[in-house]
Amino acid sequence: MTRRFACLLVFALAVSELFAATNLFADTVTVDSPDGQTVVSFKLSDDSLVYWITRQGEAIVDPSKVEIFAGATMSIVDQSILQNDSVWQPTWGQFSSIRDQHHELTLSLTADDIPVTLLCRVFDTGVGFRFVLSEESAGKRMTFSSQFKVLGGVAYYSGQRGASFTNPAKARNISVPLVTERNDGLHVALLESDLYSAAALESMRIRYAKDEKAMVAASSAVSSGDGQLTPWRVILIDETAGDLTINTVALNLAAPCKLTDTQWIQPGKGLWDWRIHGYDNGEFVYGINTHSYLHLIDFCAEQGLEYLTVDDHWFKSAGDGKMVVSPEVDIEKVMSYAKEKGVMIMLYYDRKKGNFGDETLFRHYAELGAAGMKYGFMGNKADFTRNAIDEAAANKLLINFHDGPVPMAGVERTMPNMITREYCHGQQDSRSAFTPETFLKMAMVSALSGPLDMSNGNFGINSINAGEREKGPRKKNSYISTVVSEVARNLVIYTGLVTLPDAPEAYNKKADLFEFLKVMPATWDETRVLNSKIGNYITVARRSGNQWYVASVNDQSERTLDIPLDFLDPDHRYEVTLYQDAADSHGVKNPEAYEIATAVAKHGDVMQIKMAIGGGHAMILRPTTTK
C-alpha cells in the first residue's frame, strides 16, 4: 500500500465516520418505561422534532411536533439514557411515601443553532418532557409548543369544571387538564407539572388546530438564558379515570420540597363562615361579625376541627400597608380567642378592596396570628402565584387560592404550604349548585391539577334548598345531594384543608353522621380507587395507620356497587361502621335520610353497597382481632 493510498484511505474513513456521526440521529431515538410497556420515540421530520407514544405495542399518541422556538430548524447532537428508582416522602397528601421509578432520555439539540436540551422521563403510567435552555438563548422569545395527537378518543373532559365534549374540533375553551377516554377503555390525560420552577412562563393554553388535526398546548416567554426551564408537559396513561386521580407522575416530576422546615404545615379540617350568612340558628343570625366567628371557633374546638376560614368582608379596604376592618368585627379579639381555643384561622384577602402591598401583606397576616391566607380573585397568573406561595412560606403561612387559580400540578410537593385551591366549582358558587354528575366529573378531571377546595359537607340540605341562607342557590330546590353523599365527597376529594361549609347546628343535629368527618384524617398513608366512571360513580379507599376509610359517590341513578376488600390485612378481621343512604333517601325528594350500621369484614370479602339518586356511601374499617 502506497503512502498516498494510505492517506486517502484514512481520509475516506474519517469522512465516513464524520458522515455517520452527523446522521447518527437520522433514525428514531427511543426510551421505554421501567416495565417496558410504554415507549416514547423521537425523530427529526422536515427539520422539526416529533415524538410518538405506544403502550403494549398500541399507538397512544401519533407523531406530534414539539418545539421551543417557533418554526426553528431542529437537529439532534447527542443522547443519553439514565434510570432512576427512588422513594420520597411528601409533607402531606394521598400517600406517605411515593416511588419514583423512571427512565430519562436526555436529547442534546440545536434549535436554529442555539443549544437546548430536551428531557423526557418515562414512567409505567405516564410521560413527561421539558426543555432546558442554554446561555445562548438569553433574551430570545421561547414558545414551548407541543402537539398531542391522542388516538381513539370517544369522550373528552377538560378544565376546572370537567366540561365534556365528543368532538375536539367543535369544542370551545379546552383547558387544563384534558382527559381523553379511548375506545379501548384506556384514559389519557394531558397536563403540566413543575410550572412553579418555570420562571416567567404562564400556564399552557390548549387549542384544537384543525389544520394539524391535533390538540396543541403552548406557553411563551422571553428566556433568561442558562438553566431556564419550561414546565413538564405530562401525558398520563391509566386503565380507569379513577386511576388517573392517584397517578403520581406529576408529583414525581415536580421539584423536591424547597422548605427545610415543614413542621408548621399541618393539614386539617375546619369550618367556613361564607355559606351560612343569614341562617337563623334560633339564637342569632349568622353574619360577618365577632359573635358569629367566636361561635364557630367554639364548635371547632369542641369537635376537634383544626381550622376556621374567615372569608370576605372582615375588612372593608386595604392600602399602603393598612386595613380598615369592618366595624362589626373585632379581629384582634377573634384571633386571640382562636389561639386560646387552639383553633387556627385562615384569613381571606383579595385586591378588589385595594392593594395592601405585597412586600408587607404576608407579614401583616402572620402578625395578626393567622395560620394562612385564602387569596381570592387573582386568577390564572403564574408569576403572581409563585411569588405569593414564596412570601406565604417565608412568613410560615398556608395559602389557599380561590376563584379560577393556576392549575399548578405538583406544587404541593415543592411548596407544601400551598395547602389547597379552588380549581373546581365549589358548592353553591355564584349562588348556583352543581349536580352529582358535575361533582363526579370534577373529582376525576379537575382533581388531576392537585388538591381541591370544593367545600363539600352540607348537612342542612332542606334548609339550603328552602332559601334560608343568603348565599344558597338562586333557584330553590336545585341543590341535589344526600347527606351521606356529602360525607363521602369529603373523602373522595384530595385536599390538605377540608373545608366544611355548613352551620354547627346542622352538624349537631346529625352528630352520629358527623362522627365520620370528625375522625377522618386530612392526610393519608395509602390511597386506592376501587370503582370509577367519569360523571357516574367513584369509590375511593384511603388508609391512615391500620384503619381504612372508604367512600362512594353516585350520580342521579339508583346504583349498587361491589366493593372488593382485598386491600385489607389478611391477618386481621375488621369492625366496619357503615354510613349509608336510607331505603327512602333521594337526592331531591328526601336528601337528609340516612342510616348507620355495623358489620364485620375480612380480606377477600366483597361488600355490596346501595346508593340513592344523588346519594353516596361511606365506611370506616378498624382492625379488631387476629384471624
Quick: pLDDT tens for 289-342: 999 999 999 999 999 999 999 999 999 999 999 999 999 999 999 999 999 999
pTM over 0.85: yes
Residue type, 473: P
Signed CA dihedral, 206, 207, 209, 215: sign only:
positive
pLDDT recorded at residue 627: 67
pLDDT recorded at residue 401: 96
Read off the pLDDT band of 358 (50, 70, 90).
confident
Answer yes or no: is pLDDT of 6 > 50: no
- The string of pLDDT tens digits covering residues 388-402 is 999 999 999 999 999
pLDDT recorded at residue 19: 32
Q: What is the mean pLDDT of residues 89-118?
A: 98
DSSP string of 318-348, one letter each residue: EETTEEEE-TT--HHHHHHHHHHHT-EEEEE
H/E stretch holding 9 reads helix 3-22
pLDDT recorded at residue 610: 98
The contacts of residue 222 (CB under 8 Å, 6+ apart) are 139, 140, 141, 142, 200
Residue from 556, 199, 228 nearest 383 by CA: 199
620: helix, strand or coil: strand
Cis before 177 (ω within 30): yes
Report the chain's mean pLDDT, rounded to a whole number: 94
Q: In what order do the strands lie in the sheet with 497-500?
A: 418-421, 398-401, 372-375, 344-349, 307-310, 268-272, 497-500
- The string of pLDDT tens digits covering residues 564-588 is 999 999 999 999 999 999 999 999 9
pLDDT recorded at residue 571: 95
Answer yes or no: is pLDDT of 71 > 90: yes
pLDDT recorded at residue 230: 98
- The string of pLDDT tens digits covering residues 33-53 is 999 999 999 999 999 999 999
Q: Domains of the chain by range and CATH?
A: 25-253 (2.70.98.10), 268-423 (3.20.20.70), 424-496+507-627 (3.20.20.70)
> Residue 562 has which C-alpha cell?
361491589
Task: Give the whole-angstrom CA distance, residue 232 versus residue 214.
Answer: 19
- The string of pLDDT tens digits covering residues 177-197 is 999 999 999 999 999 999 999
Residue bearing cell 411528601: 90
Residue from 29, 20, 76 nearest 48 by CA: 76
Answer yes or no: is pLDDT of 10 > 60: no
Answer yes or no: is pLDDT of 499 > 70: yes
Q: What is the mean pLDDT of residues 192-218?
A: 96
Answer yes or no: is pLDDT of 524 > 70: yes
pLDDT recorded at residue 26: 57
pLDDT recorded at residue 5: 37
DSSP-derived pairing of the beta strands 372-375 and 344-349: parallel
